[in-house]
Amino acid sequence: MNDSSDSKSIKANSLKAKVRLEDAKKSPVVQDKMHQTQPNKPIEKNSALIQETETDIASNPYFSVQDLVVGYDDTIVVNGLSLILQQGEIGCFLGYSGCGKTTALRAIAGLEPSRSGTIRLNNQNLTDKTARNSFAVAPAKRGMGMVFQDYALFGHLSVAKNIAFGLNKWSAADKKARVAEMLSLVELTEHADKRPNELSGGQQQRVALARALAPKPKLLLLDEPFSNLDVVLRESLAMNVRDILKRTNTTAILVTHDQNEAFALADKVGVMEQGKLVQWATPSELYHEPISPFVAEFVGEGAMIDGIIKEGHVETALGNIYRRMEVCDELGQPQYCEYDYPNGTPIKVLVRPDDIIHDDDSARTALVIGRVFRGANYLYRLQLDDGQTVLSLVASHHNHEIGSHIGILPLLEHVVVFNEKEINATTWSEYDRSQRMAENN
């Protein structure tokens, strides 16, 4: 935790700092740290080759969408969407209902025409319009597989025949071998002769996955594939599907409004708002470094508390926050710099439940005003002395009654601060959130 005694260690060296606030002001861009080249690396025989390959991968990704615009009649639904995926990566569009996720996926599949923008897959431009067609490459020729919300299985065909459906150009022997391989992959070998209605929802979902994977698609598109399953099954199945996609090195895009599903399955998650990808990043980056209050609110739980800039740090009801740099000094000690706002600037600070540690020995206390039992943990809603509320995740053997005071230790080193003027609404209460989701549904 920071407090005023830390101020001595503050170094006004903003150049090397992690520039979260500047990042937040940038327009959303494709952020892919994994494949950035390293310009100062000494060039040896093999490293030159590696560098070349890395540059090639970064500048010519396996799958890319650039400035995609899609609409219906007078309405633009997907508005300048850009992303890249390397081969074998799993991406995800996450967003409230109606934000354009399915439309974006359908445009990638070629089922909706794009108004502008480029979609490239495996060195092929799919979007150049020809004189006669609105797509350079017709949907059926894109080499994409799809798994739909309702699985769209053929009820009159056996599981094996469903899986073989897209293999009509394969020889009988190859087809048989591929179906057996897919059945084994999704662990349904003993159900090969059953009809879909004899299977559970989760098993049907795996048949749909096997059918989509059987022809070895260049890109797999999954549209809310778990939404018909109960919540408990969803997360475990999402992990199971991720395992299968990774084993087959399948590049895939998932559409969902469920962040647990997105986090369990995807390498890169794009939070969509009104047809735009506001941030495209790993699940961890989205959670810990949201680019805007909208992303912060949509991904994970938390609270926004008030702060004010004073001499380069933020004063809050939980203590002072100093801007920590990503680099440490030569002794391994963290370095700090100043926030780039004038004195007196009102600030909002994102505090996650894991930023507030319960500590019986702490002199700082908060009032328990609500709690939700989550098995291993309680999620406590805590009121600070000035009336603001924060959340805290506490092991469930710490059972504190509503109305009691508990000791807290705020860990404020990794919080995200937002200039208050950039926030449209500070609506962090569960009521506001569920209300908004209900309105959007």
Binding mask 34-73 for ligand ATP (x = CB under 6 A): --------------------------------------x-
Asked if 299 touches ligand ATP (CB under 6 A), the answer is: no
**For ligand ATP, which stretch binds (CB under 6 A), given 92-100, 113-121, 313-321, 332-340?**
92-100
Per CB under 6 A, which of residues 228..267 are in contact with ligand ATP?
A: 257
Q: Which residue has the tokens 């495209």?
A: 280
Asked if 97 touches ligand ATP (CB under 6 A), the answer is: yes
- In the complex with ligand ATP, which residue's Cβ is closer, 71 or 166? 71
- In the complex with ligand ATP, which residue's Cβ is closer, 4 or 434? 434
Asked if 95 touches ligand ATP (CB under 6 A), the answer is: yes
Is 422:380 a contact under the CB 8 Å cutoff?
A: no
C-alpha neighbours within 13 Å on the C-beta side of residue 208 = 27
- In the complex with ligand ATP, which residue's Cβ is closer, 160 or 255? 255
- In the complex with ligand ATP, which residue's Cβ is closer, 208 or 314? 208
304 CB-near residues (< 8 Å, 6+ apart): 293, 296, 348, 349, 350, 351, 418, 423, 426, 428
Q: What are the backbone dihedrals phi and psi of residue 283, each rounded to the nearest 5 degrees, phi first?
A: -55, -40
324 CB-near residues (< 8 Å, 6+ apart): 18, 334, 335, 336, 413, 414
Give the C-alpha distances (Å, rounded to integers) separating 29 from 191, 290, 399.
Answer: 45, 13, 44
Residue 143, classed as helix, strand or coil, is coil
272 - beta bridge partners?
277
Is 337:21 a contact under the CB 8 Å cutoff?
A: no
Polymer length of the chain: 441
Count of residues near ligand ATP by CB under 6 A: 11
Min. distance of Cβ 70 from ligand ATP in angstroms?
Answer: 9
Q: Radius of gyration of the chain from Cα atoms?
A: 25
Residue 159, classed as helix, strand or coil, is helix
- In the complex with ligand ATP, which residue's Cβ is closer, 101 or 313? 101
Min. distance of Cβ 234 from ligand ATP in angstroms?
Answer: 15
Min. distance of Cβ 274 from ligand ATP in angstroms?
Answer: 9
Residue 209: alpha-carbon gap to chain centroid:
21
Between CA 339 and CA 348, with CA 344 as vertex, the angle to 5 degrees is 65
State the distance between the two ends of the chain, measured CA to CA, in whole angstroms.
40
Residue 18, classed as helix, strand or coil, is coil
Per CB under 6 A, the list member of 80, 88, 98, 143 interacting with ligand ATP is 98
90 - beta bridge partners?
252
Per CB under 6 A, which of residues 301..320 are in contact with ligand ATP?
A: none
Per CB under 6 A, the list member of 101, 142, 211, 381 interacting with ligand ATP is 101
Taking the C-alpha atoms of residue 245 and residue 239, their distance in angstroms, rounded to an integer, is: 10
- In the complex with ligand ATP, which residue's Cβ is closer, 110 or 410? 110
Binding mask 114-133 for ligand ATP (x = CB under 6 A): --------------------
**For ligand ATP, which stretch binds (CB under 6 A), given 96-104, 172-180, 284-292, 362-370?**
96-104
> How would DSSP label each residue in 32-68?
-GGG---TTS---HHHHHHHHHHHHHHHS-SEEEEEE
Min. distance of Cβ 285 from ligand ATP in angstroms?
Answer: 22
**For ligand ATP, which stretch binds (CB under 6 A), given 45-53, 91-99, 355-363, 381-389?**
91-99
Asked if 103 touches ligand ATP (CB under 6 A), the answer is: yes
Per CB under 6 A, the list member of 2, 79, 102, 388 interacting with ligand ATP is 102
Per CB under 6 A, the list member of 81, 99, 325, 384 interacting with ligand ATP is 99
Min. distance of Cβ 92 from ligand ATP in angstroms?
Answer: 12
Nearest of 412, 404, 376, 408 to residue 392 by alpha carbon = 408
**For ligand ATP, which stretch binds (CB under 6 A), given 54-62, 95-103, 130-138, 260-268?**
95-103
**For ligand ATP, which stretch binds (CB under 6 A), given 93-101, 291-299, 351-359, 422-430?**
93-101
Residues that bind ligand ATP (CB under 6 A): 72, 77, 95, 97-103, 257
